[in-house]
Amino acid sequence: MRGAPRTSAIAAVAAVAALTLAACGGNGGEPESGGSGGGGDEVEVFTWWAAGSEKAGLDALVGVFEQQHPDVTFVNGAVAGGAGSQAKDLLQTRLQAQDPPDTFQAHAGAELQDYIDAAQIESVTALYDEFGLTEAFPSDLVDRLTADDGEIYSVPSNIHRANVVWSNPQVLTDNGIDPAATYADLDAWMADLDKLKAAGVTPLAVAQAWTQVHLLETVLLADLGVEGYSGLWDGSTDWSGPEVTAALEDFEKLMGYTNTDRDGLDWPESQQLVIDGKAAFTVMGDWAEASYVEQGKKLGSDYTAFPVPGTDGVFDFLADSFTLPVGAPHPDGAKAWLETVGSAEGQEAFNKAKGSIPARTDVDMSTFGEYQQSAAESFKSDAIVSSLAHGAAVPVATLTAITDATSKFTSGASDLAGFQSELAAANAG
Ligand code: BGC
């Protein structure tokens, strides 16, 4: 993906147009881009933010939408299942049956490219000009969102970090481990995981397959480093090589510290094991931050958050974004939603509730929580890599093949050599 230059003069004109559009309740006489009509009276928004802190984030965004577009009815098309584990299949069925929602959540990066290649979403480049978004987002992010044809196909709502360890300080203290300890690498961390295991405590909580892939990606990042990890996605790192074997051995060891009921849980439940003191650590994206805040927990005393050992100084990036599907029944409703998603007010309200940081650079971070302020600093100064489990690094089909291979391995149906060759095959295809 590459960037398309925009001028600030266009952006200034666009800002005026955006105000006009807002004043018209989102229906500002735009030519229709799909579907059977303007459809400015409602918008079906398809996400996987169906419950808990994720729904709280969506609700915050809807609150701003209802203020900015009181004439457009929000229809919640959320489908439960972390990381879109159920939603993405259902969405594909709907898209193939020519029954798209008015807008859907999709990750910036390779996942978005899938929908572009299948001609399932429309360019929203004109809306970037209209709403002044090109100047509002970091140019790196606009580059990641810009397809090879120079068009932009979605509006990002947020930026999440995937490579975060969350701990329960009380469990650590009770077991003679310094809760402020930092670990240079996975080996150093595993020395403390051994102590917890010996004491009969679950050292590391994990849940169903996608969370195991999430753990795997951070282990690959820790062991291969920024270049080696990024090379997995552009072919310059050999999936069959000894470095990957060593990382998979570390992944196998880490899985040995996890809860045995993992396959029946989703991320809120594995996170809750740590929150409730039933496990010491978990590796999860920073949507976890929102679950702590929702339960009134305090950073430092009730939980700690630090980069996965071996990944300090690296921001494992993903961004949620919203699209304009081809044939959306309410394209004007969708454009109104995209305007709110991209607006400073929408991004502030949503991200405060979601644990993520705004994609816009002009939102005042001083009113955000301590964790989010530190994430915003890291995003500015760290090396940025693309998340595997959350659509930034590989297309959906590759991620599905990696997830299947990971499930097979962690359930004992394949050995490490078989796992490695399945991973290599998934990335070769
Ligand atoms: C999404 C997040 C979401 C997480 C867990 C990720 O793929 O980008 O917004 O909170 O999945 O469901």
The tens digit of pLDDT for each residue in 112-148 reads 999 999 999 999 999 999 999 999 999 989 988 899 9
**CA 342 – CA 136 distance, rounded (Å):** 9
187 and 234, same structural domain? yes
CATH number, domain of 235, equals 3.40.190.10
Give the tokens for residue 242: 């000894």
pLDDT per residue as tens digits for the range 267-326: 999 999 999 999 999 999 999 999 999 999 999 999 999 999 999 999 999 999 999 999
283 and 217, same structural domain? yes
222 and 176, same structural domain? yes
Q: Is 262 a pocket residue for ligand 1 (Cβ < 6 Å)?
A: no
167 and 150, same structural domain? no
Tell me: pLDDT of 30 over 60. no
85 and 44, same structural domain? yes
Structural domain tally of the chain?
2
Give the tokens for residue 246: 């060593």
Answer whether residue 305 is part of any domain: yes
Residue nearest atom 9 in ligand 1 by C-alpha distance? 320
- Residue 145, Cβ density class (10 Å: 0-12 exposed, 13-18 middle, ≥19 buried): buried
CB atoms under 10 Å from CB of 294, counted, come to 15
215 and 237, same structural domain? yes
Answer whether residue 310 is part of any domain: yes
Answer whether residue 18 is part of any domain: no
179 and 48, same structural domain? no
Q: Which of 418, 429, 426, 419 is nearest to 401 (CA)?
A: 426
Answer whether residue 348 is part of any domain: yes
Residue with tokens 């006009």: 20
Which residue range(s) make up the domain with 82?
28-160+322-366
Q: Find out whether 71 and 25 touch, Cβ atoms under 8 Å.
A: yes
Q: What residues contact residue 59 under an 8 Å CB cut-off, 6+ apart?
A: 353
197 and 169, same structural domain? yes
Q: How confident is the model at residue 65 (pLDDT cuts 50, 70, 90)?
A: very high
Q: Find out whether 99 and 88 touch, Cβ atoms under 8 Å.
A: no
Q: Is the pTM of this model over 0.85?
A: yes
Q: How far is the CA of 421 from the centre of ligand 1 (A)?
A: 28
Q: How confident is the model at residue 31 (pLDDT cuts 50, 70, 90)?
A: very low
Sheet holding 383-386, edge to edge: 160-161, 314-318, 383-386
Q: How far is the CA of 14 from the centre of ligand 1 (A)?
A: 31
**CA 163 – CA 398 distance, rounded (Å):** 21
Q: How far is the CA of 338 from the centre of ligand 1 (A)?
A: 19
308 and 196, same structural domain? yes
Answer whether residue 1 is part of any domain: no
Answer whether residue 340 is part of any domain: yes
- In which region does residue 389 sit, left (phi positive, over 0), alpha (psi from -120 to 50) or beta (all else)? alpha
Q: Find out whether 133 and 155 touch, Cβ atoms under 8 Å.
A: yes
Pocket test for ligand 1, best of 323, 390, 396, 403 (most atoms within 8 A of CB): 390
Answer whether residue 400 is part of any domain: yes
Mark 370-387 as b/e (b = at least 16 C-beta within 10 Å).
Answer: ebbebbbebbeebebbbb
pLDDT per residue as tens digits for the range 343-401: 999 999 999 999 999 999 999 999 999 999 999 999 999 999 999 999 999 999 999 99
403 and 308, same structural domain? yes
Give the tokens for residue 64: 């701003």
